């Protein structure tokens, strides 16, 4: 029998793609408290003493292991702030799946602010997946403010996938990275907002090491009366490469603002920012209608593909 | 059978299609040709429902489809390959073929449509239909999606446009094979002699009117007549 009730199970599936207790190392947090934890020989999870949250230690050379740290919030009127620090040893290669799901049936706001710091030692490699989801019948807002701080040591690599598809009324997402020699940071963000929702993203990447690189891709869809802001700041202090691509589809009365900032402080810094905001191209809809799809079905396929 | 009756289409005070009536019989291979700006692409778009005529009627298998939308016509069996293939962010070649087929099919099943147009499925199936593909690759994918639909009437709007001669030569083989195996009527808008050569019937459209219709030998003289000499060159020669 499952250790979770239906709501918990549904949210865990949505944010972590797990059906039950995950394999490997994990820490499940619900309404401000850790409810379940597992550690492995190579991955230790320790509760912080000075503030809410956990420290996750991955031993050097750990390969193909996973860490799941989902958060479930089902109580309205609660602001859950948590600090999770990841220490990834030399040459380790792991998958970390985080994410927060809010089920708010109350008339009060439910808020989760997750502050995640990553410290990657030489040659370490991490894939970090973070999903945010909100649901519930109540009028209370569902608010998420994730902060991600990345420190990449020499030759290390972090790939971050962040997704916010539905149900989050307000989100301010801050991601910052400091990169050493030969380090790479790949960020892919997908956001969809509707109704009166608001989503703001701020990226700041400092390319401090020779041959460090970053690629930031943001794809978002803003529907109805929702609004989005995208601010990216890439600073090239050495011979480095940075590419930021921000694409947004705007529908109905929505608004999207994109502010690119690229700073080159070295003659060998190569920095690119591309931004495009626009409605769904009419010719794309026409093309799919020639396959027999209605206008609405065509729009849905275009958005699904765009955010896939 | 597709029948156009007295189709007129005017934009910016210019008669783009001027009272065109036309019958396209089942299982025929028709090539519409003629000078640029003569109204060929507009006529093709009117058949698919992308453009709406100002007057006239369109009948498909006896049914009046004049006021039907693009999707309704597609469901009846009209297919259309765009002159400039449309690009999508995030939608893969596999997704597009599945949408053309109207259902999610096994990967292996979708592969054959790419092989038919000379693309290696393993290399292309997972790629996005975006600017990373060349004009020739996009064109082949466009044709693959239209072939996948197996419509009753398949319209290709200038399949040679925007691709290099070498890519086009291998595409010709696709049309030749299509002619042999497909059960539909095929309508190709083209200027290419090799495509003209395999047509059952040519239709010459110029200044929005049908100038000639029939076998190649019958239509070609009209086509040559249409080729005006450059006034500048003529004056130079006369000097």
Q: How far off is chain A from B101, nearest CA to CA, in Å?
A: 8
Q: CA A210: distance to chain centroid? A: 27
Strand B2-11 vs strand B14-24: parallel, antiparallel, or unpaired? antiparallel
Q: Is the pLDDT of residue B151 over 90?
A: no
Distance CA B98, CA A269 (A): 43
Q: Which SS3 state, helix, strand or coil, does residue B209 take?
A: strand
DSSP letter (8 states) at residue B77: T
Q: How many CA within 13 A on the CB side of residue A240?
A: 32
Q: Which residues of B touch A294 (CB under 8 A)?
A: 71
Strand B185-189 vs strand B29-33: parallel, antiparallel, or unpaired? parallel
pLDDT number for residue A120: 98
Mutate to test the interface with B, among A249, A278, A290 (most CBs of B within 10 A): A290
pLDDT number for residue B165: 74
Which residues 138-177 of chain B have a CB within 8 Å of chain A? 145, 149
**Apex CA B163: angle with CA B162 and CA B166, to 5°?**
160
Q: Is the pLDDT of residue B238 over 80?
A: no
Model confidence over A127-150: pLDDT tens digits?
A: 999 988 888 877 888 888 999 999
**A306 and chain B in contact, CB less than 8 A:** yes
Distance CA A237, CA A248 (A): 29
Q: Which of B10, B5, B99 is nearest to B51 (CA)?
A: B10
pLDDT number for residue A257: 94
DSSP letter (8 states) at residue B27: T
Terminal CA-CA length for chain B: 54
Distance CA B41, CA A211 (A): 51
Higher pLDDT, B151 or A26: A26
Model confidence over B16-33: pLDDT tens digits?
A: 999 999 999 988 899 999
Helix, strand, coil distribution of chain B in percent, nearest 5: 40, 25, 35
Q: Which two three-digit tokens encode residue B57?
A: 């009627």
Q: For residues A192 and A219, is the Cβ–Cβ distance under 8 A? A: no
Q: For residues A255 and A283, is the Cβ–Cβ distance under 8 A? A: no
Beta strands in chain B (DSSP E): 2-11, 14-24, 29-33, 55-60, 63-64, 78-81, 153-157, 185-189, 201-206, 209-214
Torsion of CA B57, B59, B62, B65, to 10 degrees: -100
Q: Which residues contact A154 (CB under 8 A, 6 or more apart)?
A: A122, A123, A180, A181, A182, A183, A209
Cross-chain residue pair B75–A307, CB shorter than 8 Å: no
Structure confidence at residue B235 as a pLDDT band (50, 70, 90): low
pTM given for the model: 0.85
Q: What residues does each domain of chain A span?
A: 6-281
How many residues are present in chain B?
239
Q: Which of A183, A188, A136 is nearest to A164 (CA)?
A: A188
Q: Which residues contact B22 (CB under 8 A, 6 or more apart)?
A: B3, B4, B203, B210, B213
Distance CA B109, CA B96 (A): 13
Residues of chain A with pLDDT under 50: none
Question: Which residue of chain B has the CA closest to A303?
Answer: B90
Report the mean per-residue pLDDT for chain B: 88
Cross-chain residue pair A291–B95, CB shorter than 8 Å: no
**B71 and chain A in contact, CB less than 8 A:** yes
Q: Which of A111, A253, A218, A130 is nearest to A168 (CA)?
A: A111
pLDDT number for residue B206: 92
Q: CA A52: distance to chain centroid? A: 20
Distance CA A282, CA B69 (A): 14
Reported ipTM: 0.91
Model confidence over B90-123: pLDDT tens digits?
A: 999 999 999 999 999 998 889 989 988 888 888 9
Please report the DSSP string for A4-47 in residue order. S-HHHHHHHHHHH--SSSPSSEEEEEETTEEEEEE--SSEEEEE
pLDDT number for residue B239: 56
**A276 and chain B in contact, CB less than 8 A:** no
**B131 and chain A in contact, CB less than 8 A:** no
pLDDT number for residue B226: 57
pLDDT number for residue A179: 98
Cross-chain residue pair A289–B99, CB shorter than 8 Å: no
Higher pLDDT, A172 or B170: A172
Q: Which two three-digit tokens encode residue A285?
A: 């809809």
Q: What residues does each domain of chain B span?
A: 2-238
Please report the DSSP string for chain A in residue order. --SS-HHHHHHHHHHH--SSSPSSEEEEEETTEEEEEE--SSEEEEE-SSSSEEEEEE-TT-EEEEEE--EEE--TTEEEEEEEEEEE-TT-EEEEEEEEEEE--SSS-EEEEEEEEEEE-TT-EEEEEEEEEEE-SSSS-EEE--EEEEEE-TT-EEEEEEEEEE--SEEEEEEEEEE-TT-EEEEEEEEEE-TT-EEEEEEEEEE-STTEEEEEEEEEEE-TT-EEEEEEEEEE-SSEEEEEEEEEEE-TT-EEEEEEEEEE-STTEEEEEEEEEEPPPHHHHHHHHTTT--HHHHHHHHHHHHT-
Model confidence over A59-68: pLDDT tens digits?
A: 999 999 999 9
Q: Is the pLDDT of residue B237 over 60?
A: no
Q: Is the pLDDT of residue B166 over 80?
A: no
Q: How far off is chain B from A281, nearest CA to CA, in Å?
A: 9
Please report the DSSP string for B123-189 in residue order. HHTTSBSSTTS-HHHHHHHHHHHHHHHT-SEEEEE-TTTTS-HHHHHHHHHHHHHHHHH--SEEEEE
Cross-chain residue pair B99–A293, CB shorter than 8 Å: yes
Query: What is the mean pLDDT of the segment spanning B61-72?
Result: 96
Residue A305 burial (10 A CB sphere; 0-12, 13-18, 19+)? buried
CATH of domain B2-238: 3.40.50.300
pLDDT number for residue B150: 82
Q: How far off is chain B from A190, nearest CA to CA, in Å?
A: 12
Cross-chain residue pair A290–B74, CB shorter than 8 Å: yes
């Amino acid at each position: 029998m499952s250790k979770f009730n239906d709501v918990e199970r549904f949210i865990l599936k949505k944010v972590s793609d797990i059906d039950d207790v995950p394999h490997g190392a994990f820490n499940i947090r619900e309404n401000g408290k850790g409810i379940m934890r597992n550690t492995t020989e190579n991955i230790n999870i320790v509760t912080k003493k000075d503030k809410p949250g956990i420290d996750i230690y991955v031993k050097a050379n750990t390969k193909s292991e996973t860490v799941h740290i989902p958060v479930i919030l089902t109580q309205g009127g609660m602001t859950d702030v948590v600090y999770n620090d990841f220490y990834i040893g030399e040459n380790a290669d792991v998958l970390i799946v985080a994410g927060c799901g809010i089920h708010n049936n109350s008339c009060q706001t439910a808020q989760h602010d997750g502050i995640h710091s990553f410290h990657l030692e030489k040659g370490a490699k991490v894939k970090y997946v973070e999903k945010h989801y909100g649901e519930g019948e109540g009028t209370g807002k569902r608010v998420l403010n994730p902060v991600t701080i990345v420190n990449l040591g020499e030759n290390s690599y972090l790939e971050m996938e962040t997704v916010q598809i539905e149900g989050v009324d307000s989100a301010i997402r801050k991601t910052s990275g400091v990169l050493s020699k030969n380090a790479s940071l790949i960020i892919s963000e997908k956001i969809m907002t509707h109704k009166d929702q608001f989503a703001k993203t701020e990226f700041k990447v400092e390319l401090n090491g020779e041959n460090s690189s970053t690629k930031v891709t943001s794809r978002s869809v803003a529907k109805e009366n929702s609004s989005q802001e995208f601010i990216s700041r890439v600073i090239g202090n050495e011979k480095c490469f940075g590419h930021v691509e921000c694409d947004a589809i705007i529908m109905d009365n929505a608004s999207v603002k994109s502010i690119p900032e690229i700073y080159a402080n070295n003659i060998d810094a190569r920095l690119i920012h591309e931004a495009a905001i626009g409605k769904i191209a009419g010719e794309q809809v026409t093309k799919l209608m020639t396959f027999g799809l209605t206008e609405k079905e065509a729009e849905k396929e275009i958005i699904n593909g765009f955010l896939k | 059978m597709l029948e156009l009756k007295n189709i007129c289409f005017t934009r910016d005070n210019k008669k783009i299609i001027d009272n065109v009536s036309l019958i396209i019989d089942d299982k025929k291979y028709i090539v519409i040709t003629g000078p640029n700006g003569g109204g060929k692409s507009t006529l093709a778009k009117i058949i698919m429902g992308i453009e709406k005529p100002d007057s006239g009627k369109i009948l498909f298998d006896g049914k009046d489809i004049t006021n039907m939308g693009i999707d309704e016509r597609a469901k009846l069996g009209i297919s259309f390959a765009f002159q400039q293939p449309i690009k999508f962010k995030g939608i893969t070649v596999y997704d597009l073929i599945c949408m053309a087929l109207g259902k999610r099919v096994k990967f292996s099943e979708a592969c054959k449509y790419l092989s038919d147009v000379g693309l290696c499925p393993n290399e292309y199936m997972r790629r996005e239909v975006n600017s990373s593909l060349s004009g020739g690759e996009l064109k082949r994918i466009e044709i693959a999606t239209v072939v996948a639909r197996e419509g009753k009437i398949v319209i290709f709007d200038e399949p040679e446009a925007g691709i290099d001669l070498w890519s086009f030569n291998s595409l010709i083989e696709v049309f030749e094979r299509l002619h042999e195996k497909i059960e539909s009527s095929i309508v190709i808008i083209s200027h290419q002699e090799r495509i003209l050569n395999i047509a059952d019937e040519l239709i010459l459209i110029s200044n929005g009117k049908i100038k000639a219709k029939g076998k190649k030998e019958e239509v070609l003289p009209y086509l040559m007549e249409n080729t005006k000499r450059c006034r500048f060159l003529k004056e130079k020669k006369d000097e």
